[in-house]
């Protein structure tokens, strides 16, 4: 895990989609919040700085693109269906300068069009918004155009559209920080109507979050039993598998044991109560399945690297 946050710049062009941008930024915010660490930092930039206008007319103030990239660093080009008009000599020159720093370059929505037009995707796999995929393939024959929702190549990353951008960021979070965090981030944003109709909610069908039914059932049960935590045997009964099988599923798919994941769910609930209520530590402990405020305090400090008092101090000043 890096010692400093990974800086990600989103290079915006007029006509970009607000939904695409949010799909790129919000998973990073969620990863920071869920981990209680600054894993990522981000900036909104443009070629010359100043106001950039989205496809829906919302104006965003940006910083000017700088050519000296800190490390670690990623630069995502975010452009909408007007990408062609932005493919100018100035745009290509700026992108090539960024590429020479060794930065990982990405294109979201129609952003790959600008990268390809600047000669930065030759010989590599790439994708754009599905409505322009055939035109992209015809225009840039040196690029290996694929119909994938997103592509992660060495130092080149692409995604087409808002949902694909969300899936891309979740995949990158998994690569950077492991499957457990990426799964939790997914559950912050994905609402599965079919699962809800059956009585469950959360990340079941999206990209990297496709998990075994046993795992999903056990996690849903964990979330439903925070005040009175269930034993591994009871979770296994809910999941309809043996305790050993459930443990193996957690290790294989999330990289942590069922017990450790259960603790993270309970402590996240404790943090929300600390941030959003004036409940005492004893009341929070009772609400999250801890035998005493001291037991909660020890687990909380070990997990988050801070105290409930400090967490609450940031919220109630």
- Residues 138-155: tens digit of each pLDDT: 999 999 999 999 999 989
CB 103 within 8 A of CB 74: yes
- Does residue 79 form part of some domain? yes
- Does residue 196 form part of some domain? no
Do 224 and 141 belong to one domain? no
Q: Which of 177, 199, 222 is the last residue in one of the domains?
A: 177
Can you give the CATH number for the domain in which 232 is found? 1.10.10.60
Can you give the CATH number for the domain in which 45 is found? 3.40.50.880
In sequence order, the β-bridge partners of residue 7 are 41, 73
Do 167 and 224 belong to one domain? no
CB 84 within 8 A of CB 111: no
Q: Which of 127, 162, 177 is the last residue in one of the domains?
A: 177
Do 12 and 134 belong to one domain? yes
Q: Which of 155, 177, 199 is the last residue in one of the domains?
A: 177
Do 68 and 169 belong to one domain? yes
In this predicted structure, what is the pLDDT of residue 206? Answer: 46
Which residue in 134, 58, 70, 124 sits closest to 102, CA to CA? 70
Which residue in 58, 59, 41, 42 sits closest to 50, CA to CA? 59
Do 46 and 156 belong to one domain? yes
Whether this prediction's pTM lies above 0.85 is answered by no
What is the rounded distance in angstroms from the CA atom of residue 114 to the CA atom of residue 91? 8
Split at pLDDT 50, 70, 90, the class of 205 is very low
What is the rounded distance in angstroms from the CA atom of residue 8 to the CA atom of residue 1? 16
- Does residue 156 form part of some domain? yes
What are the phi and psi torsion angles at 74 (to 5°)?
-135, 145
In this predicted structure, what is the pLDDT of residue 188? Answer: 84
How many domains in the chain?
2
- Does residue 121 form part of some domain? yes
Query: What is the per-residue burial (b if ≥16 Cβ within 10 Å, else e) of 149-162?
Result: bbbbeeebbbbbbb
- Does residue 199 form part of some domain? no
In this predicted structure, what is the pLDDT of residue 276? Answer: 77
Do 168 and 21 belong to one domain? yes
Do 40 and 163 belong to one domain? yes
Looking at 36-104, list the stretches that DSSP marks H as alpha helix, in order from N- to C-terminal side: 83-86, 89-100
**Total residues found in the chain within this entry:** 317
Lowest mean pLDDT across 53-62, 195-204, 282-291: 195-204
Do 14 and 91 belong to one domain? yes
Do 238 and 285 belong to one domain? yes
- Does residue 183 form part of some domain? no
Do 169 and 271 belong to one domain? no
83-126 pLDDT, tens digit per residue, is 999 999 999 999 999 999 888 999 999 999 999 999 999 999 99
**Mean of pLDDT over the chain:** 88
Q: Is 298 helix (H, G, I), strand (E, B) or coil?
A: helix
- Does residue 197 form part of some domain? no
Question: Structural domain of residue 221, as residue ranges?
Answer: 211-317
Do 81 and 149 belong to one domain? yes
Inform me whether the pLDDT recorded for 15 exceeds 70.
Answer: yes
Average pLDDT for residues 201-221, to the nearest whole number? 67
Average pLDDT for residues 129-137, to the nearest whole number? 89
In this predicted structure, what is the pLDDT of residue 195? Answer: 41
Q: Which residue has the higher pLDDT, 167 or 205?
A: 167
CB 269 within 8 A of CB 290: no
In this predicted structure, what is the pLDDT of residue 204? Answer: 43
- Does residue 139 form part of some domain? yes
Do 224 and 160 belong to one domain? no
């Amino acid at each position: 895990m890096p010692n400093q946050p990974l800086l990600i710049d989103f290079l915006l062009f007029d006509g970009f989609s607000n939904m695409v941008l949010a799909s790129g930024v919000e998973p990073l915010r969620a990863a920071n919040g869920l981990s209680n660490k600054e894993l990522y930092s981000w900036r909104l930039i443009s070629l010359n700085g100043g106001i950039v206008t989205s496809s829906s007319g919302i104006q965003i103030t940006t910083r000017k693109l700088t050519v000296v990239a800190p490390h670690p660093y990623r630069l995502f080009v975010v452009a909408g269906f007007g990408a062609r008009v932005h493919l100018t000599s100035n745009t290509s020159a700026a992108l090539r300068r960024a590429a020479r720093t060794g930065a990982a370059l990405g294109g979201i929505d129609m952003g790959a069009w600008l990268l390809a037009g600047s000669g930065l995707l030759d010989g590599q796999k790439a994708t754009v918004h599905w409505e322009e995929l055939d035109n992209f393939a015809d225009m840039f024959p040196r690029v290996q155009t694929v119909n994938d929702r997103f592509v992660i190549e060495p130092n080149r990353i692409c995604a087409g559209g808002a949902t694909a951008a969300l899936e891309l960021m979740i995949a990158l979070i998994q690569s950077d920080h492991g499957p457990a965090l990426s799964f939790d981030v997914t559950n912050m944003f994905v609402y599965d109507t079919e699962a809800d109709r059956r009585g469950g909610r959360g990340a079941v069908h999206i990209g990297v979050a496709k998990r075994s039914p046993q795992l999903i059932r056990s996690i849903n049960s964990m979330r439903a039993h925070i005040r009175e935590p269930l034993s591994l045997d009871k979770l296994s009964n809910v999941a309809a598998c043996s305790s050993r099988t459930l443990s193996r599923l957690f290790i294989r798919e999330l990289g942590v044991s069922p017990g450790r994941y259960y603790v993270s769910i309970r402590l996240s609930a404790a943090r929300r109560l600390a941030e959003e209520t004036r409940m005492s530590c004893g009341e929070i402990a009772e609400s999250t399945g801890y035998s005493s405020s001291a037991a909660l305090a020890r687990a909380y400090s070990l997990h988050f690297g801070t105290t409930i008092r400090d967490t609450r101090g940031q919220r109630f000043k």
